[in-house]
Structure formats: C-alpha cells, structure tokens
A and B are shown apart, each in its own frame.
Chain A
C-alpha cells in the first residue's frame, strides 16, 4: 500500500476540483483510502491521515470514523502524534459521543507530564470539550496546575478552570484559594486569563461576587484591578504588549468589564473606581480604533455602575463625540449604547437628537435600525411633531424589513403623544398609505377603535379614507379600515358635510362602486372581502336610494365559494327577507368602544345576552347556520372541538355592539369591525386560552356556602351547578358546572352553551374536555361567569349537544331553580 499523501497534496488536489461534484469524488476516494489505512492499524502514517480527515471535516464532510483514531494518537508517546490527536479530539469529539470518556485517563496522565507543552495540550483540550464528568474528575489536577510557577501553564490552567466552572458550577469554591495570587503576576497572559476566570466566577455566583467585593486583608480585588489598570495606562511603551500605541488594550477591556460587574449596584466599589474611569476616559487616545474600543467599554462601565453624575455626563459626551465620527463602526456602537442609556439619562441623550435623526438617512442598514429604535425612544410630547415628520419620511424610504417595525413604532408613539386627534388620524392615514401592506394586523382594530372615539372627526376621516382607496385598494389594512368606516359613516360621506376639509361630492352609487370593486378584486384578502360585504350591508340602512342594489349584491354572494362570505351573505339576505324589521336596529351605528383591557389567561369565549326567550323558540333556521366564523380564532379555544359552539360576535364585557340588541342565535352576525377590540388582544394570546380550567376558587373572599343545584338531568346526563360569589364584587356570580354521565357509553363532543336574559352578561370559559366518560367515572367541568348588575333573578337557558351511542343528541333546557343567594 503506497504511503498516504500528505495533507499539502490533498489540499492541492482538492483545489483543482472545478465543481462541487468533482471535489466530493476526490474526498470520497481519499476517505476510502484513509479508512483502509486505519483498518490496517498503521502507526506511522496515522497522524497524517487524521490531519487530512480534519481538513475534510472542516470542509463539511462527515468524519466521525476518525474519532477512535484520535484517541489512539493521544495515547502515543510522540509529541506530533499527541498534538494531532488532541486537535482531532477538540474538533471531532464532544460530550455527545460516548467515546470521549476514554480520553479522561490519557488527559490525566498528560496533565502530569514532564513536558509543559504536553500539559498545555491536555489543558487546552479539556478546556475545550470537557464534559461534566471529565471536569469533575480532573478538576483537582487543574487546580494544582493553577498554582505552579510556570506562567505558560498557569495561563492555560486558568482558561481550563473557566470551562470547568461553566460545566460544573459547584466546583467554583475549589478554585477560590488559587485566585488570590493570580493577580500578582507580571505576565500579561496570566493576568488576562485570571481576569476572565474572575469574571466568570462573579457572573455565575452572587456569593462569589459578594466575596470579591468586600475589601479585606485577604482579598481586595477592586484596588488591585485599579492598580493594574493604572499601570497599563501610565506605563511607557512596551513592545510586547503594544497595539497601535496603547498598551495591551485587550487586558484593559477585560479589566473594565470585570470592574463593571463588581461595581454594579454597589456603592463602595463604584466609588473606588470613579477616578480610574475618569482617567481612562480622558487619557485614551481616540485617533485609532483601539482607543475607541477602550472608550466604549469605559462608557458601558460608567453607565452600569453607580457612578457620580459628572462621570455620567462625561460618558454621554463621549458617545456624542462618537456619533459625529465618520467611522461607521463607531457610530454604530454609539447608537447601541445610547439605546441602553436612554431610559436612565433621557435628557442627556435628547441633546443629541438631531444627530441621531440624521443617522436615519445613513446608507448602512445596521445604523439605520439602531437610529430608528433610538428615535422611537426619544419621542416625547415636545418633539413629537418634528420627530414624526422625520420618521414618516424614513418610513417612505426604508427597506421592507424595517417597515413593519417602523409602522408599529409610529402608531405607538402617535397614540402616546398625539397633540390633536386630527393630527393623529392624519399620521395614521399617512402610514397606511405609504406602508399599508406592512402594517401589523392588530393595528387595524386599534385604528378603528380610535376612529370611533373621535366622534367629531368622523366625517373628515371617512372622507379621507374614501379618497385614499379610490386610487388604490391593494393595501389590505387600509382597505379594511376604509371599508369599515364607509360602512359606518357612509351617510356623512354622501351628505358632503365636513368642517375640516373641502367636502367632496360623492353619490351613493359611487360609494357602492368602490366597495364592490374591493369585493371583486383579486388583490383583496378574504378578511377584507368580509369587511367590504358587511360595510355594504350597513349602508342599506344609511343610504336611501340604492337599497335594491345592495340587496342584489348581497344575494350574489350567497353562493360564493368562500364560505365566510357565503355565510355572511346568506345571513344578510335573511335579514332582508324575514327580519327586515330588525334591520335598522341591528345595523345602527357602533357606540364608542372602550379600549379593551387585555384580560388574563382565563378570558375568552363569550356568549352574549339575548332578547326574550320567545324569540329564541321560533327561530330554528338561522340557528342551522352555525358553525361560527372560521375567521375567528376563538374557535380553537374549546379544546379543538369541531362542533364550534355559538361564539358570539361582539366582544362583550363592553356595551354590546350594534345598540346592544344582538341576537346571538342569528349565528354569526360577524360585524367585522367588532371582533376587533376584544378578540384582537385576545387572539394575540392564544397559548393561554387552552389552559383548561382553574379548579381553585376564583375569588379570595368567597361568600359563604351557596347551595348547589342540579340544573339538568335527563337521559343519563346530569349537570350540576356550584356557585361562588365575591364579597367585593357582588354582581358577579361564578358558576362551575359539572357534567356527568351515568350511562354505559361515553358521551363525546360534548358542548355546553348557555344564554341569559338581556340584563345579564355571561362569560363562558373553556371546558376541561369534551368527553364525559361512562358510569360516572369522570366529569367535565366548565366555569361560567355571570354579571348581574341589576340583581335580577337568575335564569338561564342551556343547550347541550353531544354524541352518544353513535348518534348526535341535542337538547334545550331552561334552568330556573337558582338559589336566591346566587343572585341577590
């Protein structure tokens, strides 16, 4: 077998490969040769082969068959073999492979070797890939080496100790005594690694931190560090440590970082450091990048510790100087650190606002992003108009990946600091028109809510929105908001009254034209179409001459392929035909919505109040129109049931929408504006919703025992109600239902629905499951919250659907036997 080629040859051959496939072929051939050579247990060329293997591994090819060979190399006596072996171990092995444990003994022997280089190799490898078992076994040896006089070894031992501590934090105390003398070294290498070790210890354990902070005879860390730093700055030129005129900047940076950790939240240490920090800040030369790196670290340290205010001002001025520097890197770090400090030193940073705003126009992506974040942090009541102008300009010209963030930021800032409603609406309009498609989904409901709140601006708003979509209706959020507004305030639009702006003359037909084109357009998302259709429907009460046209449109979509649209259209059709008397009431203007408070984990499914029970009975057909809106994420809540219960349209802890007379049994009158406020914040919390039931008491101050009742008992299904009321909030009653099944077969897909008279409000939380096991072996629990502000007698109508014995069962019942204590 000819001698295997050297690594050099291999690299040369691989370089000549012109395509990826050729290279792969060469490598495979070589791998095969190497494998057969390994099989032959060839000692002389093993190290060469492993070296080649490592090179191939670096290029990205699998090389795990070389792991054992590395071990053999480590065990050999030749230094060159050992070197390659350890290198291979570091690159190929890690704690995931079981093979690595075999190395432990070898490393142990090598740690006690006579040659320092071998010891060094072993330390390196342990420090690189040692697993926790290995570290535990060998920590003693490492600690011993930490105390030797050989600085080469001490340096490596300190780094190894860092790794050991990372893997096995309990061993930290073992290294503590050795650290006492570490800082007395002259050798910068040892100093550097010791500082790293101390930093790691302080970061990992607050006890260590406290230990190092206190000044005592044993350990006075901070003064020592200060002394070292001072020497570094003051000492003259030393060729071995010099980098561009500054003496060992890496060590300086490390020490500064350790000082930062020591001084954080600690007054004494911070005081000891003040002088040296000031000295470093003023004496460091800033012409080269090195100096700037040190200054950067100093600034970070000053900001983090409890420094005196003079020092902080100095730091911010340094950052300001950085901002004006031409070098991009420096500007970038300045912006980053300003972002960190803007919370605490807001006023100081404001001084540099104009420079920051200029950075928005920079070409560099990283700088732009930082400047944008910083600008948002700097907006306050005084500068909001100017800043907004700049930010809007930025929004126009920035890259797409920024637009979403920028838009959300602008909305937030506008909400907090808007000087006037009109300005607010203008700003939002501007955002929607420029970056419309990047706006986040929750912006639409927020915006709608804002518009309803500014009552006097309705005419102006709707007019502007109308003009905006006249030209271009491809930006979905804009179109959604516009359709909603036109639906609500279409009459204002047509009547041409607008104080703020020049009123435009619009006829009803034109309005319907635009809405219809939104419906037809391919660019409209299905949600947008829903908005448009409902808007058209609402206009049927607002407009006078075009009702027939509206009827026609609505009936066309009764056979649309999109189920959501179809459902809406059919329901609206029904409104025209059978329930025409209800139409005006139903489609009344929305009242002002309160801002939804984001409720905690247990909110969500809400069944709305209904009108007289009499109405309920006679309306079977609309009920047949469930299931509820697929668009509504609330579906997912009830444990993934396919039979979605009637999820009501309007979110209801607020005044129910559309004049408060929603018939929830009309299936899903999904006035699109409405799932807006509440579900929006809720939809953004899906993870919480499925958390089943909290079985604890929901109130801390429960009114004493209210008797529980059996609400329903038929066909083997029994439902019990237990009550809880709070003393602090007497109008809320919490009912926990327990459903049990005494038949021999399970009841599956069990859905419990409830409705209460108009004066009550009901909230249904998610059930524990949808299967009631047979023979009373388990129950389904569900919590209902009833708000009874008028303290009327509690009545409830319940509807149960489940599958039993292979057939679907459904039952309606009324519960009248509520104990008086539950509602009085």
Chain B
C-alpha cells in the first residue's frame, strides 16, 4: 500500500504532497524534511530503495526535483519505481516540460487540483 507521495525539490521545499493515511500536520513537515535528507545523501549509483522506519521509500530524481513514494512491504518496489516514472511522463505530456516548470505549473490553480485528482 502506498502511504504517501511527495514531490520535493532539492532545497527541501515541498512541491506536492499526498498522504493516504492520516498524519499530523507538524509530523508531515518533519517527515518531509527527513525524507529529503535521506534522498539527498544518496549518490547516483546507489539503489533507489531506502528503508526508513517501518516502511520503504522509493525515490527518483528528475533534475532538481525528487519524487518520493512511501510504501509498505506488500508492494512491489520496482513496480512503484515504474509508476513514478509513468506519473512524471503523464505530467510531462499534460503540462509539458514538467521538471523545469514545476514551480510555474503549480501556480496554475486548475492544474494543481488536476494534479491531485490524477
């Protein structure tokens, strides 16, 4: 089961977050900060699956943006990895030039809600 889905930039600012379980607000920010810390400390040729507390993080880096998904043990990690890529591709198609324009695209109100509903 996917626990959460985050898009965070290199400076640690959350661009998008979607939690599928209830998590307190202040805990969310802490969680996001820790997660990004873990992801930033990895080098390029290390594997994309990190074990964090009691779930796994699957992350993928696209230029300055990290897409991180938290899953529990029942999920196939590689399938989730592919899912992330698929998601980014869809975003790309839909909004064109996702990575460099994440900030701009998120300013568009309709796209923000569409992003969530996707």
- Residues of A that sit less than 8 Å from B by CB: 6-8, 11-12, 15, 48, 51, 54-55, 57-62, 83-84, 87, 90-91, 94, 96, 124, 243, 249-250, 253, 257, 289-290, 292-293, 296-297, 300, 328-333, 363-367, 369
Contacts and interface: CB of A to CB of B under 8 A. Distances in A.
7 contacts: A90-B116, A94-B22, A293-B79, A296-B79, A329-B49, A329-B78, A365-B46
Given A87-B116, A293-B76, A328-B46, A60 B86 contact: no
B17 to A, nearest CB: 6
Interface string B5-49: 000000000101100001001101100000000000001011111
A124 B46 contact: no
B25 A62 contact: yes
A366 B49 contact: yes
Given A11-B106, A60-B29, A364-B46, 18 more contacts: A8-B109, A12-B107, A250-B79, A250-B83, A257-B76, A289-B81, A289-B82, A296-B78, A296-B79, A328-B45, A329-B47, A329-B78, A329-B81, A330-B78, A364-B45, A365-B46, A367-B47, A369-B51
Given A87-B116, A257-B76, A366-B47, A11 B22 contact: no
B52 to A, nearest CB: 10
B47 A7 contact: no
A60 B8 CA distance: 13
B82 A87 contact: no
Contact of A250 (B43, B48, B82, B109): B82
A57 B26 CA distance: 11
Query: What are the 4 closest A-B residue pairs judged by CB atoms, nearest first?
Result: A328-B47, A293-B78, A8-B107, A60-B29
Contacts of B46: 328, 363-366
A333 B26 contact: no
A333 B73 CA distance: 12
Instruction: Tell me the interface secondary structure of chain A in the complex.
Output: helix
Contacts of B117: 83, 87, 124
Contacts, number: 100
B51 A366 contact: yes
A593 to B, nearest CB: 38
A51 B76 contact: no
B112 interface: yes
Contacts of A293: 76, 78-79, 81-82
A286 B25 CA distance: 42
A249 B116 contact: no
B12 to A, nearest CB: 11
Contact of B49 (A57, A332, A363): A332
Contacts of B14: 58-60
A60 B26 contact: yes
Contact of B82 (A8, A91, A243, A332): A243
Contacts of B82: 243, 249-250, 289-290, 293
A239 to B, nearest CB: 13
A3 to B, nearest CB: 14
A6 B109 contact: yes
A673 B96 CA distance: 71
Interface string B74-115: 001111011100100000000000000001001111001100
A665 B79 CA distance: 67
Nearest to A12: B107
A257 B79 CA distance: 12
Contacts of A300: 76
Contacts of A250: 79, 82-83, 86
Given A249-B79, A257-B76, A293-B82, A51 B109 contact: yes
A243 B108 contact: no
Contacts of A55: 112
Contacts of A57: 25
A331 B45 CA distance: 12
A249 to B, nearest CB: 6
A686 to B, nearest CB: 24
B95 to A, nearest CB: 14
A15 B76 contact: no
Interface string B56-88: 000000000000000000001111011100100
Nearest to A364: B46
A81 to B, nearest CB: 12
A307 B16 CA distance: 43
A371 B83 CA distance: 27
Nearest to A57: B25
B107 A58 contact: no
A96 B112 contact: no
Contacts of B48: 328-329
A328 B78 CA distance: 11
B81 A366 contact: no
Nearest to B80: A293
A11 B22 CA distance: 25
Contacts of A11: 103, 106-107
Nearest to A51: B109
Contacts of B2: none
B50 A366 contact: yes
Contacts of A58: 14, 16-17
Given A60-B25, A243-B86, A289-B82, A297 B47 contact: no
Contacts of A83: 113, 117
A280 B85 CA distance: 23
Contacts of A94: 22
Contacts of B79: 249-250, 253, 293, 296-297
B47 A253 contact: no
A249 B76 CA distance: 12
A83 B114 CA distance: 9
A365 B51 CA distance: 10
Contacts of B47: 328-329, 331-332, 364, 366-367
B108 A8 contact: yes
B51 to A, nearest CB: 6
A12 B28 CA distance: 23
B104 to A, nearest CB: 9
Contacts of A61: 25
Given A249-B79, A249-B82, A253-B76, A84 B22 contact: no
Contacts of A87: 113, 116-117
B28 A60 contact: yes
Contacts of B50: 366
Contacts of B112: 7, 51, 54-55
A347 B56 CA distance: 29
B97 to A, nearest CB: 17
A94 B79 CA distance: 29
Contacts of A12: 107
Contact of B78 (A6, A333, A365, A369): A333
A330 B77 CA distance: 10
A6 B108 CA distance: 9
B74 to A, nearest CB: 9
B76 A48 contact: no
A449 to B, nearest CB: 34
Contacts of B81: 289, 293, 329
A290 B82 CA distance: 7
B78 A289 contact: yes
Q: Kindly name the residue among A7, A51, A292, A331 whose own CB sees the greatest number of chain B CB atoms within 10 A.
A: A7
A533 to B, nearest CB: 42
Contacts of B103: 11, 15
Contacts of B26: 60
A91 B22 CA distance: 10
Nearest to B83: A250
A20 to B, nearest CB: 11
B23 to A, nearest CB: 11
A332 B56 CA distance: 12
A279 to B, nearest CB: 19
A91 B116 contact: yes
A59 B26 CA distance: 10
Contact of B76 (A62, A296, A331): A296
